[in-house]
């Protein structure tokens, strides 16, 4: 018999590994509403462009921008850094280019999680070469204990311990991005 389908389960099993619910759907939405209003206040007269880093940020960007009631544009690009594993490969590659021209634009990059900071460092260098009017970073999650690069994150949803997490856009081997809550690997 097939297992019953459960939306927003309490725990997830991946082989022998157990992931437990860590940041609930409602907590995520509450924090995103606060971030959205803060960003809206700062950018209301600036016609900013939000740039999502695929694939992980798709859910955060969608929910965040529902809470930013100002005139803005949205674009995406794609990086590859983790492959299909839980440990960073230490390399970043651009695998889908940005379409928008960000010269003289107010840019907010939207990330799912900052771990070592390597991706954000790469993104900042790449974007600064395109001469934006301003560049800020919003990340739903930050692991301060893992940071290896000196990068400033301007808007942070939650600071979390240095543990692998999945759900709400974040994957484990490309799966589990569609979970509403965020799950943490159990010790």
Residues 118 to 137: which contact ligand IMP by CB under 6 A?
A: 118-119
Q: Is 113 in the site for ligand IMP (CB under 6 A)?
A: yes
Compose the 57-86 pattern: x for residues touching ligand IMP by CB under 6 A, - for all others. ------------------------xx----
User: Cα separation of 85 and 60, whole Å?
Assistant: 22
* Catalytic residue flag (residue 115): yes
Among residues 114, 127, 140, 153, which is the contact residue for ligand IMP, using CB under 6 A?
114
Q: How many residues touch ligand IMP (CB under 6 A)?
A: 17
Among residues 32, 142, 165, 179, which is the contact residue for ligand IMP, using CB under 6 A?
165
φ, ψ for residue 33 (rounded to 5)? -60, -40
Q: Of 115, 154, 162, 171, which is the active-site residue?
A: 115
Biggest CA pair distance of the chain: 58
Beta bridge partners of 166: 183
Q: Is 32 in the site for ligand IMP (CB under 6 A)?
A: no
Cα separations in angstroms, 107 against 64, 68, 73, 110, 127: 15, 14, 10, 10, 9
Of the two residues 41 and 86, which places its CB atom closer to ligand IMP in the complex?
A: 86
Of the two residues 18 and 44, which places its CB atom closer to ligand IMP in the complex?
A: 18
DSSP codes of every residue in 86-144: SS--S--EEEE---S--TT-EEEEEEEEESSSHHHHHHHHHHHTT--SEEEEEEEEE-G
Give the residue numbers annotated as catalytic, written as ranges.
115
Residues in contact with ligand IMP by the rule CB under 6 A: 56, 81-82, 88, 111-119, 164-166, 170
């Amino acid at each position: 018999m097939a297992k019953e389908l459960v939306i927003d389960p309490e725990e997830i099993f991946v082989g022998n590994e157990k992931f437990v619910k860590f940041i609930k759907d409602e907590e995520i939405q509450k924090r995103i509403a606060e971030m959205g209003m803060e960003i809206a206040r700062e950018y209301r007269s600036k016609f900013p462009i939000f740039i999502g880093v695929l694939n992980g940020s798709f859910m955060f960007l969608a929910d965040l921008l529902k809470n930013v009631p100002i005139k803005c544009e949205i674009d995406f690009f794609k990086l590859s850094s983790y492959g299909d594993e839980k440990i960073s490969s230490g390399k970043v590659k651009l695998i889908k280019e940005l379409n928008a021209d960000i010269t003289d634009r107010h840019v907010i990059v939207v990330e799912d999680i900052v771990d070592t900071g390597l991706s954000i460092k790469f993104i900042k260098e790449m974007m600064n070469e395109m001469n934006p009017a301003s560049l800020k970073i919003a990340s739903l999650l930050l692991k301060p204990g893992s940071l290896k690069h000196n990068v400033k994150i301007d808007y942070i949803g939650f600071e979390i311990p240095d543990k692998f997490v999945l759900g709400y856009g974040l994957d484990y081997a490309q799966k589990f991005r569609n979970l509403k809550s965020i799950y943490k690997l159990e010790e």
